[in-house]
Structure 1
Amino acid sequence: MKIRYAGKTDVGMKRAHNEDNILLVPEERLYLVADGMGGHASGEVASEMAVQTLSDFFEETSKDQEITWPYKMEKGREYEANRLNAGIKLSNLRIFESATQNPAQRGMGTTIVALLIVDDTAYFGHVGDSRIYRLREGKLTQVTEDHSLLNDYIKMKDLTEEEIENFPHKNVIVRALGMKETVQVDVNSEKPQPGDTYMLCSDGLNGMITDDVIRQIMVDNYDDLEQCCTELIDAANANGGTDNITVAVVQIA
């Protein structure tokens, strides 16, 4: 399976520094986006720690499959899904321990979305409200579920479009790396089709532009992934750019 990919991050129009991190690890077919929080640059520390810890864990377990994992494999779950779950949990623990030991980092945390492609399967691991979308035959689908207060309300109550638009706590997330010693990780998988394009992003993108706009930009730039990332970020900035914006696009060629 041949894979094409591109990624880009931008500070946006309002923030002084970028707390997002992106890491593309083609040799592991692992693609990561994290959106840090915590202020005083500690959000940036958390997001970098998340993507680097997960990447390191995959490199170590690729070199030595007999290496002892920090977490037990869950029964009934595929090897690669377990691997993704364990790596993200390890990232959470490292961030939590660092924040506990360093007063300047207290309260720091981060979201993470991870796309792993092994053989004929795409695995999605995530915590928080950063997203993964899939473009298939012109149709855009969100394949992750936001761990946010807004999404919890949407599931509990039948909110109208106007109520969703005016929801006062859109940026409140109910799950993140680094908040507690342990974390629940969502891991799902699917069989990608030739031509599928996956897009990972921080909420600085989807919070600024609609899914329809995202879809159109991805369709228009289907053959130029670098340009796709640039145009997505430009569109978010043109619409206000109130947050850092990070995009990774991965295509099954």
Structure 2
Amino acid sequence: DIATVERRAKTGKTTITYQGKPAVELKLFRSETGDSLKSAKILHNWLEKTRPKLPPNIQLQVYNERWEAINERISLLLRNGLGGLVLVVAILFLFLNGRVAFWVAAGIPISLMGMLAVLYLAGGSINMVSLFAMIMALGVIVDDAIVVGEDGFTHFQIGEKSLLAAEGGAQRMLAPVTAASLTTISAFIPLMMIGGTMGNILIDIPIVMICVLVASLIECFFILPGHLRHTFHNLKYEKPTKIRQKLDSGFNILRDKYFRPFVTIIIDFRW
């Protein structure tokens, strides 16, 4: 023998090993408009068809699957959304009628669906940043509906007819609720003006928040009053339970004995 011939990498060339064996790394990237979850499904279907055809000494192993993180964010969003819905209904039930609380809480899924429709039409996508923005938006979605629903229910309790109470609640709260939403929207607009790579990453946050707030306004002024009118019309007087009476009594004491005097002092000495 005058030589030994073997296959090996060139000197200085990067080599990849997996469990001590030579390996080849392949990376799958989705397009800008692609769906990570669909791409992962296509990859796994291809692996199931390809693995049986390979020789025994060749294996295909998948690692660092980022779509799993997106799946976790979606699960987190659903858990937070459901948890927020339950908490909102429970808290509203302490102060409002159960049916009114239900329709007020219905603003959460309605606003989210409206936001998703606008996001789709605008060419956006569901990614980690947009999912984070959705989770953050859960805390502000239902605020508008709470104010409109509580005002309408209060006027219904003092004797207004169902139609007038529901319609009047929307009319009276139109200016303050719209102003409050516009101030929140204005806080997120500067994020849309950030340029470069960071701007491309953060752009989904203001888009999602603005879409959610606009959808919430539409829901509480165009959809909620109809539900409230129907609820008020079918609402029958029921004597409050002892727990509810104690809760209302405690709330009235807090409002009349402490809150109103405090607000009066603040107004008198505003400067």
**For the pair shown, which has the larger CA radius of gyration, 1 or 2?**
2
TM-score w.r.t. length of structure 1: 0.24
Work out which structure has the larger RCO, using CA pairs closer than 8 Å and 6 or more positions apart in sequence: 1
